[in-house]
A and B are shown apart, each in its own frame.
Chain A
């Protein structure tokens, strides 16, 4: 991507004991903090043998929780794809008072602890909410909580792309008689699609693992409103950490598969674009 040299030439590298220290520190830190605990997780998930693993992940309650989590996360990712793009569009192409404040507030779901978010969503959109909407303890509540925590992702990936977009193409198309919709579909959207997909991937990964925002408002009813993270928490508390680990591994695999798939689509879209 860059034409400049990223890596130092050999001479500078070999005279650099700092590099060795740096690499050593990085590797040791990551091993201790990330690799070791995850290795323990994967190990313990299979500690009871293949049968125990299979039993844990085919448990109907686990399957229900995983299905619900994926469905809710997909729904949320799609909503974000649409509404996130709209918000990014409004923030970049529009001008109104307080715009910079709105732009800053977009990152609130990142800065605010998830438990506080869950608490306020429950108060607002639960039975005693001032707005008259009561979705607490339903699947809608889960989607609501997940929409909150995933809000910034698509917006923040689309914004920079929109900023860099060359308006001339759109203006030219408009002068040739294209409708706004055609301009969007043929010119703007293909450029935004890779960024939208990046945001969707991040949003999806975030949503499948969410716990704090969901745990208060969803009711955690097994088979109905219990998401994967709550199910895993329940297994830990029931003294079945092996089963919890097994389901965690499955959740991980699902996240990665989704991320790889979206990444693949994204690469295809970008390459196709470059060729055209």
Chain B
């Protein structure tokens, strides 16, 4: 009896908070049929927004993946001055409001900032948005790889070293395969975060039609212009990407024993 009560409480809560919104996105997008939704999503502004989002993600994800693997190894396997600071800085993006992130970039690269005079435009242009997106999606690969590195220990790497393998073959053949799944999971998380970024890019975007509007900003803009079908159609694209992310997360999820996100 108690079991059913708990189950109902949990499921009703999840239905109200998750299920209903998700259903709503699809409902409102296709309320007037497939045609208007398709037209909205294939309109020029929507296509450009999609392209901008993809470009930003295609830069942010590889950068953070490379950085993530390198940093995880540095944190776990080596001692160096400033290691604690690195550790703290990696976790910082998770605790910061995206508006604050955008503001920080604005203050650094905008008028009156220390890096104002650069040969190319940073804020209100693509580079600023890329940087902001990199910032907010920074921690994930690191946080996924670190526990795995700790777990597997150094025995295999040491063995390879005694057998005469240099550091690159050691990395390529011993370390990398061991962390492969963790990296994949981290990439999925990083991608999801990059695709969905809104607050930070809101501040640094400049909202230049076709140039600095991401999918998320496009959703907001369409909503503001009373084009609800357009807003929901774009949201459907993002929701489909979200569902794909969930599927990928289930596939790559680390096995039990490696606690996700826990720093114990």
Asked if B242 is at the interface (CB within 8 A of a chain A CB), the reply is yes
Q: A34-B138, A109-B18, A120-B21 are in contact. Are A259 and B78 (CB under 8 A)?
A: no
CB distance from B250 to the nearest CB of A (A): 5
Shortest distance from the beta carbon of A132 to any chain B beta carbon, whole Å: 13
Is B135 a contact of A34 with CB atoms below 8 Å? Answer: yes
Confirm or deny: A78 has a beta carbon within 8 angstroms of a beta carbon on chain B. no
- Given A5-B154, A8-B78, are A212 and B104 neighbors across the interface (CB < 8 Å)? no
B246 within 8 A of A: yes
- Taking a contact as CB atoms under 8 Å apart, the answer to whether B86 and A232 are in contact is no
Which chain B residues numbered 29 to 43 have a C-beta less than 8 Å away from chain A? none
Task: List A contacts of B6 (CB < 8 A).
Answer: 86, 89-90, 94
Interface residues on B, range: 35 or more
Give the residue name and chain of the B residue nearest to A212 (CB). B198
Flag if A209 contacts B100 (CB, 8 Å): yes
Q: Which stretch from B44-52, B65-73, B176-184, B205-213 is at the chain A interface?
A: B65-73
Set of chain A residues within 8 Å of B22, measured between Cβ atoms: 105, 108, 112, 120
Q: Which residues of A contact B199 (CB under 8 A)?
A: 114, 211-212, 229
B62 an interface residue at 8 Å Cβ cutoff? Answer: no
B95→A102 contact, CB < 8 A: no
| B residues less than 8 Å from A9 (CB atoms) | 154, 158
Tell me if A16 is interfacial: C-beta within 8 Å of chain B. yes
The answer to the question of A172 belonging to the interface, with a C-beta cut-off of 8 Å to chain B, is no
At the interface, yes or no: A202 with Cβ under 8 Å from chain B?
yes
Residue contact B10 to A90, C-beta cutoff 8 Å: yes
B231 to chain A, nearest CB (A): 7
Contact partner of B89 (CB less than 8 A), chosen from A16, A30, A202, is: A30
Closest to B242 in A: A111
Known contacts A34-B138, A94-B7, A123-B28; is-contact A22 B242 (Cβ 8 Å): no
Contact B96 A147 (CB under 8 A): no
Interface of B is mostly: helix
- CB-CB under 8 A from A206, the residues of chain B are 94
Pairwise interchain contact B100-A113, C-beta atoms closer than 8 A: no
Q: Which residue of chain A lies nearest to B243 when distances are taken between CB atoms in the complex?
A: A111
Residues of chain B within 8 A (CB-CB) of A102 are 11, 14
Contact A105 B246 (CB under 8 A): yes
8 contacts between A and B (CB under 8 A): A2-B151, A26-B70, A41-B100, A83-B10, A89-B6, A105-B18, A119-B232, A198-B261
Q: Which of B177-234 contact A (CB under 8 A)?
A: 189, 192-193, 195-199, 202-203, 215-216, 219-220, 223, 231-232
Write the nearest CB–CB distance from A156 to chain B, whole angstroms: 6
Contact B247 A119 (CB under 8 A): no
Establish whether residues A121 and B21, one from each chain, have CB atoms under 8 Å apart when the complex forms. yes
CA of A83 to CA of B18, assembled, Å: 14
A26 touches B99 (CB 8 A): no
Question: In the bound complex, what is the Cα–Cα distance between A205 and B22 (angstroms)?
Answer: 25
Q: A6-B153, A19-B77, A259-B95 are in contact. Are A37 and B246 (CB under 8 A)?
A: no
- Specify which of B71, B138, B193 lies most central, judged by the most chain A CB atoms within 10 Å of its CB: B71
Answer yes or no: A117 CB below 8 A from chain B CBs. Answer: yes
- Interface residue ranges, A against B (CB under 8 Å): 1-2, 4-9, 11-13, 15-19, 22-23, 25-27, 29-30, 33-38, 40-41, 43-44, 83, 86-87, 89-91, 93-94, 96, 100, 102-117, 119-121, 123-124, 131, 147-148, 151, 156-157, 160, 163-164, 180, 194-195, 198, 202, 205-206, 208-212, 216, 228-229, 232-233, 236, 241, 244-245, 248, 251-252, 255-256, 259
Do A108 and B242 have beta carbons less than 8 Å apart? yes
Cβ contact within 8 Å between A40 and B104: yes
Whether A119 contacts B231 by the Cβ 8 Å rule is yes
Please give me the residue from chain B that is nearest to A103 by CB atom.
B250
Chain A's closest residue to B21 (CB) is A120
Complex CA distance for A6 and B25, rounded to whole angstroms? 47
In the bound complex, do residue B150 and residue A33 qualify as a contact, i.e. CB atoms below 8 Å apart? no
**B119: Cβ under 8 A from any A Cβ:** no
Cα separation A139 to B196 with both chains bound (whole Å)? 25
Contact between A110 and B67, CB atoms less than 8 A apart: no
Given the complex, which residues of A lie within 8 Å of B92, measured CB to CB? 34, 38
Residue from A16, A26, A115, A163 within 8 A of B167 (CB atoms): A16
Bound form: Cα–Cα A140–B163 in Å: 64
